Every structure is written in structure tokens, then in C-alpha cells.
Amino acid sequence: MRYTKVSMVLKKTKNTAKTRSKKTITTARVRTSPGRRFNSWLGRTNARLTRRYQGFLDRRPHRSFQLTRRRDYVRSLRLPGYISFTLFVWRTLQRHRRTFLLLVLLYGFAMMALGGITNQQAYSQISELLQEAGPEVFTGGTGKLGEAGLLLLSTFASGPGALTVEQQIFLGLALLLAWLTTVWLLREYLLGRRPRLRDGLYNSGSPFVSTFIVVFVLILQCLPAGIVALIYAALSSVGLLENGFSSMLFWIFAVTVGALVLYWVTSTIIALVVVTLPGMYPLRALKSSGDLVVGRRLRIMYRLLWGMFMIVVAWAVVFIPLLILDTAVKDAWSAVSDVPTMPMAAAVMSAASSVWLAAYVYLLYRKVVDDDAKPA
């Protein structure tokens, strides 16, 4: 009798469990229907985007077409002077000059192997034309400098136009790898380590894809400037810029677009350094760099423009005497007239410019990070 009651209790328990499981399955089927799943996903997405937008507003207190109080956007940024900071970058590179000199030579030779930076044929033609017209256009020592300056501008403004698309892509990749290697080596040196050049070449390429995405964003941000250049070429071809009023309107428009482009690319250039951090994603790097420059964007932008200006000055200081010397040597000794001196020098100088600019931006980023100012 006792066993019968126990079996009946077990049967009731099993039946109750089966009924509950059927109800649970039915309820789960009802709750996981496609419409409800979509509504649930839509609600979660909306909540996530709302949180991100609210976080963005909390991090960036500035609104378009609204005046922001000075107390809400001013942040401290203790930096040395322009010349002092430039000398600091130079001393940092000079302290490890053997490694960085080998890096410049390596990527310079790589660029020469890929076809160089400038068009030697165009350089030779322009040189001959300027030599023929030189006595009529220039006089004295100043004329020689003017001739060299025009030749420098004409040669390098033509760019790598004689190269194929594949060669231009490889040249861009070489410059990008020089940037990554420089940043990796500087980070290791500032941590007190003593890496070799081969360590930088083998280990610096890990954030290549992330850096390439940030470079792509940088190119997109520079597209308005390219569109303005195309508009200028089109208007100049039909003579619409000869009128003073129309020319004034165009240059107001061009200056406005240029200011917006500089505003956008300031944080993106800093993101080229942030993205090299271990485990950093490109969109997160863009977000972090944008938060980093809020309230001090103009000061950082002026520093970046100063660094680029230093590169232009270095090219002028190196290449104007080299152009004069190259012209004099080839006039006196025709056997070396076909030696592509300027393209080879341009390749090495391009690698050196990439290394110096990477060091300048990285050390500027370190100065900004070391400042303990709160977000604006």
C-alpha cells in the first residue's frame, strides 16, 4: 500500500513537470517569435545608441551654432615653445641616431627601388628650359636661387606621375611602415628599453590594418580640399576668377573649407599615434583622440602646422643648394648628366621627413597625455 502511494505521487510529479515544461516551451516560442525578437533588438539598439549619444554630449560640451562658455572648453596644455619643442624632437632622434639613420636609409632605398619620388625626365626638361631662359629671367646670385627654387617647385609638384598605380601604392605603404616603425621605436626607447632596428621592423606592423583605416578616414576628411582645388581649376579655365568680386567669394569659400578640413584632421593625425597602442581599434582611437584635443584643438593644430612647416624648410635648405650643385656638376661633366641624383635624394628625404614627422607627432601626443587636464 505504501509503495502504491509513493508511485502515485511520483506519477503526479512527472505529469506536473511535463505540463510545466510544455507551458515553458509554448511561452518561449511565443516570446521568441520573429516580430518580438526584432522589437527587442530594436529596443536594445536604440538604448545603446542613446547611451552613446548622451556620453558624447557629456564628453563634448560644444554645440554647433551655439556659443560655448570659455570656462567649459579651456583646458591646460603646458608645452615648451615651438623652437624648444623642435629642438627636443631633434635631440630625441639624435640620441638614437644610428637606428633612425639606418631606418631612413632602408626606406629611402626601398623607395628608390620602387621608382623614386620625382620624374627625372621632367626634371631634366625643366632644367634645360630654365638654363636657356636663365640669363633673361635671372641675374646674379639671387637669380641662381630663384632658378633653383622654381626647379624644385616644378619637379616635386609633378609628384610620382610617371609611376604606375602599383608603384604609387607601394610608395605609400613604405611611408606608412616608416611611420609605424618610428612610433614603435620611440615608445620602446621612452620606456627605457634598447630595441634594435630589426625589432622595430618585425614588431611595428601589427597595427597596420588599424592604421590604414585611420589613414582612409584622413583621406576622406581631406576630400573637400580636393574638391575646392577642382572647382578652382574649372573656374580658372573659363575665366570666372578674373573678376574681383567672384574671386573674393571663391577665396572666402576656400578658406572656410580649409579651416574645416584642418579642424577635422587635427584629431585624426593624433589618432595615427593612438591607434598604434596595443589592443586599440581604429574607431576607438578616433574617439579617444577627439576627446584628447577638445578644448585645445587650436594649440595642437598650430603645433602640427609648425612641424609641417619645418619639413618644408628642411626640403628647401637641402634641395636648393643640391640643385645648384647638381646643375653645375652636370654642366661641367656631361658623363653624369643621366644620373638620377634628384629622384634618389627625394626618396631619402621623403623617408627622413616621414620619420621626423612621426617622431614630432608622437612626442607631441606624449606631451598632451602627460598633461593632467580634465576633459572639457
Q: Is the pLDDT of residue 325 over 90?
A: no
CA-CA-CA-CA torsion for 109, 112, 113, 114, nearest 10 degrees?
Answer: 130
Q: Is the pLDDT of residue 313 over 80?
A: yes
In angstroms, rounded to a whole number, what is the distance separating the alpha carbons of residues 238 and 222? 25
Mean pLDDT across the chain: 76
Q: Taking residues 293-322, report their average pLDDT.
A: 86
For 53, residues 6+ apart whose C-beta sits below 8 A from its C-beta are none
Q: What is the 3-state secondary structure (H, E, C) of 209-265?
A: HHHHHHHHHHHHHHHHHHHHHHHHHHHHHCCCCCCHHHHHHHHHHHHHHHHHHHHHH
For 269, residues 6+ apart whose C-beta sits below 8 A from its C-beta are 218, 304, 361
Provide the angle, in degrees to the nearest 10, between the axes of the packed helices 341-370 and 97-113: 130
Q: Is the pLDDT of residue 5 over 50?
A: no
More confident residue, 186 or 344: 186
pLDDT at res. 87: 93
Q: Is the pLDDT of residue 223 over 60?
A: yes
In angstroms, rounded to a whole number, what is the distance separating the alpha carbons of residues 328 and 127? 11
Q: Is the pLDDT of residue 112 over 70?
A: yes
pLDDT at res. 239: 77
Per DSSP, the three-state class of 337 is coil
Provide the angle, in degrees to the nearest 10, between the axes of the packed helices 341-370 and 165-190: 40
pLDDT at res. 1: 46
In angstroms, rounded to a whole number, what is the distance separating the alpha carbons of residues 177 and 200? 10
> What residue has cell string 616635386?
156
pLDDT at res. 185: 93
pLDDT at res. 35: 73
Per DSSP, the residues of 6-68 read HHHHHHHHHHHHHHHHHHHHHHHHHHT-HHHHHHHHHHHHHHHHHHHHHHHHHH----TTSPP
Highest mean predicted confidence (pLDDT) among 15-24, 162-171, 196-205, 325-334: 196-205
Longest dimension (CA), the chain: 130
pLDDT at res. 141: 47
Residues composing the chain: 376
Q: Is the pLDDT of residue 145 over 80?
A: no
- Cβ pair 294, 75 in contact under 8 A: yes
Q: Is the pLDDT of residue 137 over 70?
A: no
pLDDT at res. 248: 85
Q: Is the pLDDT of residue 67 over 70?
A: no
pLDDT at res. 65: 58
Residue 185 grid cell: 621605436
CA-CA-CA-CA torsion for 246, 248, 249, 250, nearest 10 degrees?
Answer: 90
Q: Is residue 207 exposed (0-12), middle (13-18) or buried (19+ Cβ within 10 Å)?
A: buried
Q: Is the pLDDT of residue 122 over 90?
A: no
More confident residue, 348 or 324: 348
CA-CA-CA-CA torsion for 241, 243, 244, 247, nearest 10 degrees?
Answer: -20
CA 70 vs. chain centroid, Å, equals: 30
Per DSSP, the three-state class of 274 is helix
Q: Is the pLDDT of residue 245 over 60?
A: yes
Q: Is the pLDDT of residue 234 over 60?
A: yes
Residue 40 grid cell: 527587442
Q: Taking residues 218-245, report their average pLDDT.
A: 84
Q: Is the pLDDT of residue 127 over 70?
A: no
In angstroms, rounded to a whole number, what is the distance separating the alpha carbons of residues 329 and 343? 16
